Amino acid sequence: MKRRPSCHTDYGTDAQFCTKDGARLMAAGDPAPNVCAAAPHAAAGGEMPTDSAMVGRVLDGRYLVEKKVGEGGMSFVYLATELGTRQPRAIKILSAALSQDSSAMAQLKRQAGLGMRLAHPNVCHIIRVGETEDGLVYVVMPFVEGELLSDRNNRVGHVPLDETVRLVQGMAAGLHVAHELNIVHRDLKPENVMVYERPDGTEWPVVMDFGRAKGRRAGPELQRLTATGVIMGTAEFMGPEQLRGKPLDARTDIYSLSLLTYEMLTSRLPFQGPTPQELMISRLRSDPIPLRKMRPDLDFPEAVERVFNEAMARNPDERPGTTLDLANGLAAGAGDGRGVGPMGQGFGR
């Protein structure tokens, strides 16, 4: 089932938007764990360790498991303390079935190879991959407790322009460092961004789940997938070139970031259609609904609308050159003179 969170109206699984106001629907069900911890997904099955078996254990002589903070069909997420640094860490324990799945483990190794290069304040990166004494694979990541951007958007409705600028600057900084390493996220969406509260009370984002990311030296399995035109990503936030199965680069993430930002400001998407197929076709053939036409009641500056028109250009060559250009253009259009550099404004290490 799909649901419009603000009014709790249920729709069928094929529905994409609310028939009353055009807002994007969310899948009904339990929310995802509110910690920064992403790893490969797979079908259900496999024995999982009990809490009593894990809490108090020291993994690899370095990570003291403190308590369980989340779970899914194939994994449990624990809060741990790294003994040497006393830093909190998220430990994701994978099920026996997933740990023994060679395809899933190959994906994990590729993800880990990328993630270990993405040590940036605005990115949830993999610190290491290990194995317990009883053969279960675990993934170590920074522990960041917060709220998924998708849940936050649904909770607050449209996000004020100044708050949006601040959040986009953080996301842009993390993505820019990935792009400098020739890594493209390829599945940027609100469900893959965690928002947490810093000690000073401000909210800052962490981009998660680079599981579909592609580096310049992608493995042969991923190269075969992309070479044969298999589309990887989420339909609502894909760029036109991604929908067509064309080669991707940083400008694809720029397009997705602009869609994500547009939704934050308006609580809606600039392209609409009753089915995923029609939604994709509208992205390929139609211009986006202008920001100020979508929400004339919010009185956005014309300069902000121009930023979106450029960032959502169907031709990648017409988009901003970097995510930092997009974020700084948005800040300038909003009258916020604060620019953002590659290190952003993220959480402390």
**How many other CB atoms are found less than 10 A from the CB of residue 96?**
17
Is 300 within 8 Å of 335 (Cβ atoms)? no
Torsion of Cα atoms, 150 then 154 then 158 then 162, to 10°: -50
Phi, psi values for residue 300, rounded to 5° = -70, 145
Beta strands in 115-273 (DSSP E): 128-131, 137-142, 147-148, 193-197, 203-207
Query: CA 286, 326, 212: angle at the middle one, nearest 5?
Result: 75
Task: Select which of 151, 187, 209, 253 is catalytic.
Answer: 187
8 Å CB contact between 233 and 240 = no
Say how far apart CA 153 and CA 82 lie, in whole Å. Answer: 33
Angstrom distance (rounded) from CA 64 to CA 109: 23
- Quickly list DSSP for 188-208: --GGGEEEEE-TTS-EEEEE-
β-bridge pairing 193-197 and 147-148: antiparallel
Instruction: Say how far apart CA 307 and CA 291 lie, in whole Å.
Output: 10
Nearest to 287 by CA among 257, 308, 267, 261: 308
CB burial of residue 206 (10 Å; 0-12, 13-18, 19+): buried
Which amino acid makes up residue 273? Answer: G
Amino acid residing at 61: G
CA distances, 230 to each of 41, 221, 225 (Å):
18, 12, 5
Is 187 marked active-site? Answer: yes
Q: What share of the chain is helix, strand, coil (3-state, %, to 5)?
A: 35, 20, 45
Catalytic residues: 187
